Amino acid sequence: MTAPNGAYKSMIYEILYIIPSKFSDSEIDGVIERTSKLLEDAGTKVQQTKNLGKVKLAYPVMKVTHGTYVLSYFEHDGSNLQKIDQNFKLSDDILRHVVVKRFDGIPSGDFTLTSYQEPLTPEGKRTAPKKEKKVQVAPKPADEGKLSVDDLDKQLDEILDSDLTNV
């Protein structure tokens, strides 16, 4: 937004970003510091940063199934938000991100994230992934009628002799 004199007016923005699970819990703080530095290098003033915790993603993103969500509020005049967006897209530390303008300022309430739950079907049941069909293996026949090697040789000889006589 521009002020009457043509200068940009400072606004509060929030950015929610996901740090991939390849980073351990001890490395998360370093990633948060680097992303805060990315914001400050773009001319913003970071007001508040919250680590919302590690949560399972609703679907895999670049083969990653879990991520740590971080929510930051910053003050900026809005002049180069595209540069901030581009820096976050190019960062290997960030899986996904979204920037939103906050007209109401920084919210004072606290909230927590939970894992994704599939929506209810019209019947009121959760949609479950298709289960794999189990292949049933036929039971092995009982060991009745086991032949010894000698008996088997005799039967084979008889079969071969009878086949030769039929020719």
Q: List the CATH number of the domain containing 64.
A: 3.30.70.60
Query: Is 15 among the domain residues?
Result: yes
The number of distinct structural domains making up the chain is: 1
The model's pLDDT over 49-58, given as tens digits with 9 standing for 90+, comes to: 999 989 898 8
Q: Where are the alpha helices (DSSP H) in the chain?
A: 25-41, 81-90, 149-166
Query: Is 72 among the domain residues?
Result: yes
Tokens of 60: 């895999």
Query: Is 158 among the domain residues?
Result: no
- The CA-based diameter of the chain, rounded to the nearest angstrom, is 115
Query: Is 5 among the domain residues?
Result: no
Query: Is 2 among the domain residues?
Result: no
pTM of the model: 0.64
pLDDT string in tens for the chain (167-residue length) = 445 555 567 889 999 999 999 998 889 999 999 999 999 999 999 999 999 989 898 899 999 999 999 999 999 988 888 999 999 999 999 999 999 998 888 888 777 777 666 677 766 666 666 556 666 666 665 555 677 888 888 888 888 877 666 55
The model's pLDDT over 121-148, given as tens digits with 9 standing for 90+, comes to: 766 666 666 556 666 666 665 555 677 8
134-158 core/surface letters (b: 16 or more CB in 10 A; e: else): eeeeeeeeeeeeeeeeeeeeeeeee
What is the DSSP code (8-state) at residue 70?
Answer: E
Q: Which domain holds residue 86?
A: 11-102
Query: Is 64 among the domain residues?
Result: yes
Query: Is 157 among the domain residues?
Result: no
**Residue whose tokens read 């971080």:** 70
Query: Is 6 among the domain residues?
Result: no
